[in-house]
Structure 1
């Protein structure tokens, strides 16, 4: 089976329990993690370490989210403690302070090389998984006037990766433009409780894309750890 999950935010126990619930097999199954493994929760670094063996065997892949970018900027000295804590990085900072210089350098290299999207096949056809979606000011068109999703993502990331990872523009795009996407999109980044009219934690489905960030770090607001099963076209909740 193939699964997609996003915005786990350091919820390592819940993530392990979810893997147990879906009977995840590192040989048989595949999982794409669409960014934001880090921050908000206290065990983002530990979660990456837990996932690393799955990455090495090819059964899991982490994409870059804005919180991985925050951590990179913190390690780079571009983000100070106070600001990073405001962004939800307090738990991550505690973990980093326990790491050796070499371990932090290895983490930096790992985060720096995270891909920003992954292409898969779903019932919706050719599909692109990415953290935030699209940037409205960087849309690339095909000759037939459809929107080239991959080229638009690559161009936005090349111009300003930070802004791209923070963008929520896809949720404000006109229906006309969403109908012109040449590939379906699966995104995270914005908790679905902020998108669904009933403020539920059900995945948000719209023309041309779906959002699967079910608010793992916002349990008090009805959020939950969950993953999307590609074959079943359904969200599985812990």
Structure 2
């Protein structure tokens, strides 16, 4: 029985299928997705259809990311956020061509049911981006922080490896959880092509929206699996590399 955390997919269905095959997922596994299922590559709607079917066979927890919030709003209201459109929204809207109103409503329900974070029985926090409250994720005032924050990861990266959790210098907001698993800010922005740890924060977004790979990591053993780089799977597309 494994608990597996899955990085940001960004419409890359080919990468998702490839890496899950490498993992050899079984019905005994739990999959925790840290958000951003859409926006980037051309199969966003197909990713959602695949995940809804997968969740009927395997225990899945789907955390909501900022791109998912934008897509949810579009499915519900028809409003096209200008920022969203430029950052993968156009490709997501195009991917819904041929989907019925009923199918779109099913996807809307899928998005609406996503939690903003998840804490497991071992006090491990799974969240898309981060939080800022020194009192823990439950005390966050602005909920959008859960899917937009980058300061948690930036703070963790700047910490010396000599600073232990019992040190007065260890940030209070990190002390609430045994480990924190995030996406949102690609590790490739900092020169890392694999899931990366800083303090007690694990970042599993390895740049699948851009030129990187999609990663899945066993949260207990820290063994990880990766797809091919997304541009090689979608050679006639740019993903979010156009941004």
Q: Secondary structure at the match of 1:84?
A: helix
Match of 1:10 in 2: 11
Aligned partners of 1:83, 1:203: CA distance in 2, in Å?
27
Match of 2:144 in 1: 162
* 1:231 is aligned to 2:213: no
Change (3 A) 1:74 1:162: farther
Aligned partners of 1:100, 1:179: CA distance in 2, in Å?
44
Match of 2:153 in 1: 171
Q: Which has the higher contact order (CA 8 A, sep 6+)?
A: 2
Match of 2:235 in 1: none
Match of 1:217 in 2: 209
Match of 2:185 in 1: 190
Q: Secondary structure at the match of 2:225?
A: strand
* 1:36 is aligned to 2:36: yes
Change (3 A) 1:178 1:189: farther
Match of 1:144 in 2: none
TM-score (norm. length: structure 1): 0.80
Q: Secondary structure at the match of 2:56?
A: helix
Match of 1:143 in 2: none
Tell me the CA shift for residue 78 of structure 1. Answer: 7.0
Tell me the CA shift for residue 163 of structure 1. Answer: 4.3
What aligned pairs does 1:127-166 form with structure 2 within 5 A after superposition? 127-134=124-131, 136=132, 138-140=133-135, 148-149=136-137, 151-152=138-139, 155-156=140-141, 159=142, 161-166=143-148
Aligned partners of 1:68, 1:13: CA distance in 2, in Å?
19
**For structure 1, which runs of at least 5 residues remain unmatched after alignment?**
141-147
Aligned partners of 2:223, 2:82: CA distance in 1, in Å?
39
TM-score (norm. length: structure 2): 0.79
* 1:20 is aligned to 2:21: yes
1:174-195 CA deviation, whole Å, 9 max, x = no partner?
A: 7531575210210000000123
- Contact 2:52/2:110, CA 8 A, preserved across alignment: no
The more displaced of 224-233 and 76-85 is 76-85
What aligned pairs does 1:85-164 form with structure 2 within 5 A after superposition? 85-120=85-120, 126-134=123-131, 136=132, 138-140=133-135, 148-149=136-137, 151-152=138-139, 155-156=140-141, 159=142, 161-164=143-146
**For structure 2, which runs of at least 5 residues remain unmatched after alignment?**
160-169, 228-243
Aligned partners of 1:214, 1:84: CA distance in 2, in Å?
21
- Contact 1:74/1:84, CA 8 A, preserved across alignment: no
Change (3 A) 1:92 1:139: same
Change (3 A) 1:117 1:82: closer
Aligned partners of 2:172, 2:222: CA distance in 1, in Å?
20
Tell me the CA shift for residue 81 of structure 1. Answer: 6.5
